[in-house]
């Protein structure tokens, strides 16, 4: 076990290293406040705008198709569907979606009628964990967004797209498992 003085020296060295990378806006700085405590983020921040990430996660390959948009409407969602249709030119495409209103808009239904290869499957309310792209969103949130300092929406857009590029350079499938021990007896009997 380290003695208290060496731990304090390490903490101070870390603090000096972080000090040299301090962003211009001190309120966004992540700092070390006490020995043994995790890095802490100040609650006060400056919001520079909002962007929306539309993404499609290929469960077979682990690749991600993503677009960062300024709005979150049926039109941007249809742009993502067009991107998916361009990338996946043959075979059925199954889209697992949450129950966002823009997923069920009349324009989206028209698009779906014009593209019969695409099938939508909606997760139940509060069933986000059934949708693998939501699990992938947790990855980008933890690795890019949570500790990031972005001074503009352009910086945020670049960081998100860079993460998608790095992810696709070495795509990983998410091994989502739901064991039979969690299923009701009635469901197991019906499946048999």
Q: Check pLDDT > 70 for residue 124.
A: yes
Q: Per-residue pLDDT tens for 52-109?
A: 888 888 888 888 888 888 888 899 989 989 999 998 888 899 888 888 888 899 999 9
Question: 52-169 architecture in CATH?
Answer: 2-Layer Sandwich (3.30)
Where does the pLDDT of residue 44 fall: very low under 50, low under 70, confident under 90, or very high at 90 and above? low
Contacts of 74-83 with C-beta under 8 Å, sequence gap 24+, read 74/102, 74/105, 74/107, 74/108, 75/107, 76/52, 77/102, 77/103, 77/105, 77/108, 78/107, 78/108, 78/111, 79/54, 80/54, 80/55, 80/56, 81/108, 81/111, 81/115, 81/118, 83/56
Residue 122 · residue 103 · CB < 8 Å: yes
pLDDT of residue 150: 82
Q: Per-residue pLDDT tens for 158-181?
A: 988 998 999 889 988 877 666 666
Residue 65 · residue 168 · CB < 8 Å: no
In angstroms, the CA 158 to CA 179 distance is: 38
Tell me what the pLDDT averaged over the chain comes to.
Answer: 76
Domain coordinates in residue numbering, the chain:
4-41, 52-169
Q: Is the pTM of this model over 0.85?
A: no
In angstroms, the Cα distances linking 166 to 38, 64, 159, 170, 171 are: 27, 10, 11, 7, 8
Q: Check pLDDT > 50 for residue 126.
A: yes
């Amino acid at each position: 076990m380290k003695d208290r003085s060496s731990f304090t020296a390490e903490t101070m060295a870390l603090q000096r290293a972080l000090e040299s990378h301090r962003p211009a806006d001190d309120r966004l700085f992540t700092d070390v406040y006490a020995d043994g405590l995790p890095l802490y983020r100040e609650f006060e921040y400056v919001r520079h705008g909002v962007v929306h990430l539309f993404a499609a996660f290929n469960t077979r390959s682990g690749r991600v198709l993503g677009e960062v948009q300024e709005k979150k409407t049926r039109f941007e969602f249809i742009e993502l569907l067009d991107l998916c249709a361009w990338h996946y030119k043959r075979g059925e495409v199954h889209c697992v979606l949450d129950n966002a209103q823009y997923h069920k808009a009349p324009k989206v239904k028209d698009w779906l009628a014009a593209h019969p290869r695409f099938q939508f499957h909606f997760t139940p309310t509060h069933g986000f964990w059934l949708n693998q792209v939501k699990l992938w969103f947790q990855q980008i949130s933890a690795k890019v967004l949570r500790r990031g300092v972005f001074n503009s929406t352009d910086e945020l857009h670049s960081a998100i797209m860079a993460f998608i590029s790095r992810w696709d350079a070495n795509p990983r499938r998410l091994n989502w498992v739901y064991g039979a021990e969690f299923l009701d007896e009635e469901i197991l009997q019906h499946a048999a």
